Structure 1
């Protein structure tokens, strides 16, 4: 697929989304979550095309925030054991190095140590949801890394520093997974939702919709079955960046909730 011409920009201030990207098979397999993302992209485009997209993906971990400066990011297939059709997929969106530099400058101005940028492509935490939301690949995309060793409060501060980019027409997408315990998934398939996943899903919804930042920051101590749902933090940390990038005190609105493989919650939230 050749690179698309950039889309005409028709919108200024942009919202923030937390999206659960689930398995890479989300790009190929029909599901409630796949159909939701396709509809969401159409809704965003109808409201006004963003100038650019900044994605924080759970699949790029660095010691300090790093941004992608690629003019034409490659599609990174950072997984194995999936059908050939998935490896043949490409997302040829143009890069947004100027947005990447603006993000790093905003973080530095907020006192957050950054390591600069690199010409990195888009990992599947970025391109899988984007290929469903914006299949035209005509909106420039930059990506920002996460720092799992620094925890929720750091990522909320990171989001707060990025908030002004929204007024510059930049759509911020925080891509992770509401639950992420791959060892305890029902790989054979099931319609039953594991109680430990449902309890965590409900707790997060209550705290995000109530803008309870203190509880969210301390989720590993307060949320039910926190460690069973997230043996490591990395797939939930983008949520805290989305909370930080929202207007102060603004609750998140859940747009979608579904569960795959018994315990992989695919929830998505919008922050205005």
Structure 2
């Protein structure tokens, strides 16, 4: 089995599992683009902890960490097994790289993990582990976290950073955007800048994107949804390849990238 790429996907609104869109179609076919992994490690924008923490339970629950959506969404589950043994191995790998990593056997799968995985692997029969981000740490810290995870790609583990290329919910709610609204210029300017620098392998610039890219702070008023990208970039190394490009609700770019795709 060749090494897996490290992926960054934009998971969008939880209702992506219900509403037709180009991003939904992309995610529904993404699981067939690569060999079946032995396990999946998801770094989600919705799992924030003070130290790198892995889901370590055998049967993680499905967390419905959102409000105001159709009842059907709250009835959905993703009963994929956890992998306590592999979680412990990943924690050891991170500790060897200087991170104070640990496990949480009670933590379940948040929607940044189970919503896209339900589209990618609907059978829910591949072990899944989540790894937290740390909103108090820098992009560089998250990149180093990804670098420590890189050996997993050769061990049959598919690493997925799940966030959003752009994520300003205040703009979504106040701007009157519909699901099919085109992205405004301040969103596309940032997305275009990111694509140019990601595909050029300009890691230093990408790590400073929120500070230096056009409208960086407008597109990421908080860092949670871009931090998984830095982890995927560290895990994959080299240049990125854009594997999906679309938008939803105007201000949410749904772009996805593969790092280290050979």
Common fold by TM > 0.5: yes
Offset at residue 119 of structure 1 (A): 2.6
**What is residue 246 of structure 2 aligned with on the other side?**
258
**What is residue 173 of structure 1 aligned with on the other side?**
160
2:186 counterpart of 1:196: yes
Q: Which runs of 5+ in 2 are unaligned?
A: none
**What is residue 82 of structure 1 aligned with on the other side?**
69
**What is residue 211 of structure 2 aligned with on the other side?**
221
Q: Check the 8 A contact 2:199/2:240 in 1, yes or no.
A: yes
**How many residues in Structure 1 have an aligned counterpart in Structure 2?**
257
Offset at residue 115 of structure 1 (A): 4.1
**What is residue 24 of structure 1 aligned with on the other side?**
14
Matches within 5 A, 1:1-272: 11=1, 13-44=3-34, 48-185=35-172, 186-189=175-178, 191-247=181-237, 250-272=238-260
Rounded to whole Å, the distance in 2 between the matches of 1:49 and 1:111 is 31
Q: Check the 8 A contact 2:57/2:104 in 1, yes or no.
A: no
Give a deviation string over 1:120-170, Cα, whole Å, max 9, x none: 110000000000000011100000000011021010000000001111100
Further displaced range: 261-270 or 214-223: 214-223
Give a deviation string over 1:56-95, Cα, whole Å, max 9, x none: 0000101111000010111100001110000000111111
Offset at residue 192 of structure 1 (A): 2.6
Distance 1:216 1:245, change over 3 A: same
Rounded to whole Å, the distance in 1 between the matches of 2:58 and 2:181 is 43
Distance 1:96 1:106, change over 3 A: same
CA RMSD of aligned residues (A): 1.2
Further displaced range: 115-124 or 105-114: 115-124
Q: Check the 8 A contact 2:87/2:103 in 1, yes or no.
A: no
Moved over 6 A (4+): none
Q: Check the 8 A contact 2:211/2:217 in 1, yes or no.
A: no
Q: Check the 8 A contact 2:184/2:250 in 1, yes or no.
A: yes
Q: Which runs of 5+ in 1 are unaligned?
A: 1-10
Rounded to whole Å, the distance in 1 between the matches of 2:101 and 2:26 is 34
**TM-score (structure 2 length as normaliser):** 0.95
Offset at residue 219 of structure 1 (A): 1.6
